[in-house]
Structures are given as C-alpha cells and as structure tokens.
C-alpha cells in the first residue's frame, strides 16, 4: 500500500464513510492523508486500521514513511551519524531551549481550553509529543 488515501480508496471508502465507520473525524483523516503526524495517535491508528482491515503496525509504518516503506523524510540513512562542531551543538541547544519554552507556554495557555474544545486537547497531545522529542534531543546533545 502506498499511503492512507490509497488504502482508503482501495477499500472503496470515501473520507466521510471512513470517518463514520471509524469514529475518527474527517478533518483528522484528511490530516493523516496529507501531512501525517510524526507521532500518530495510537487510538486513531487502531480505529482506522480496524475499518481498513490492516494491522495497526502496518498502518503506522505507512503513516511514518509518508507512504514509502523504509523512506527517511530527511533522505538520509537513519543509522548514519551526524557530526556537529561544538559551536553548532551550542546553537542547536539554544534553539531547542527556546522552542521548549514556547511549547510549554502554549500548553499552559491551551490547557483551560481542552475541556470545551476537543481539538485543543488533541493539539495539546501533539505539543506534548513535540516537547518529549525536544527533551530527548536536548539530552542527547548535552551528552555529546
């Protein structure tokens, strides 16, 4: 299978039919078809995979590769190490810290909206994933 859209069309489903059958909004399906998140929601993947009759892991692989099995979005070998000079590491650390501060502030400001706006809760979930990723990058950079 190539991508989520191809899988859906192969099954003869419109986006609205998939949304109705899976309980996942058409907006989320559209997002996953056009710009899949780097860390897809397991709940969404499970719901979609059930209706599409594909294993959740296979669907995650498809979403994670942008429809190209084994593809790396950066076009590089995932096992290849990147060499950075000390000044580059220092600059990246500053950028990571600034981004973390901004994301933390966004989560704090958005938290009160989550109860009334389900989309805000989903956005907070994505932001939390980004924060976790940046914390991991910061940890690796500080060990370098």
Q: With a threshold of 0.85, does the pTM exceed it?
A: no
Angle between helices 42-52 and 15-22 (to 10 degrees): 110
Residue 43 has pLDDT above 60, yes or no: yes
Q: What does the alpha-carbon distance between residue 50 and residue 74 come to, in Å, rounded to a whole number?
A: 30
Average confidence score pLDDT of the chain: 81
pLDDT at 81: 67
Q: Which residue has 């979609």 as its token pair? A: 48
Q: What does the alpha-carbon distance between residue 96 and residue 134 come to, in Å, rounded to a whole number?
A: 6
Tens of pLDDT, residue by residue over 72-118, are 333 444 446 677 788 888 899 999 999 999 888 888 887 777 777 77
DSSP state of 35: S
Are the beta carbons of 36 and 48 closer than 8 angstroms? no
Nearest residue to 138 (alpha-carbon basis) of 90, 71, 106: 90
């Amino acid at each position: 299978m190539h991508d989520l859209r191809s899988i859906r069309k192969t099954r003869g489903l419109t986006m609205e039919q998939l949304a109705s059958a899976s309980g996942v909004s058409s907006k989320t399906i559209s997002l996953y078809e056009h710009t899949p998140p780097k860390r897809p929601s397991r709940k969404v993947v499970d719901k979609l995979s059930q209706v599409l009759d594909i294993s959740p892991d296979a669907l995650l692989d498809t979403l994670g590769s942008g429809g190209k099995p084994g593809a790396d979005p950066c076009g590089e070998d995932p096992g290849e190490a990147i060499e950075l000079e000390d000044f580059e590491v220092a600059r990246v650390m500053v950028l990571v810290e600034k981004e973390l501060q901004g994301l933390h502030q966004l989560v704090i400001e958005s938290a009160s909206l989550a109860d009334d706006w389900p989309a805000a809760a989903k956005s907070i979930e994505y932001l939390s994933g980004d924060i976790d990723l940046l914390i991991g990058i910061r940890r690796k950079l500080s060990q370098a």
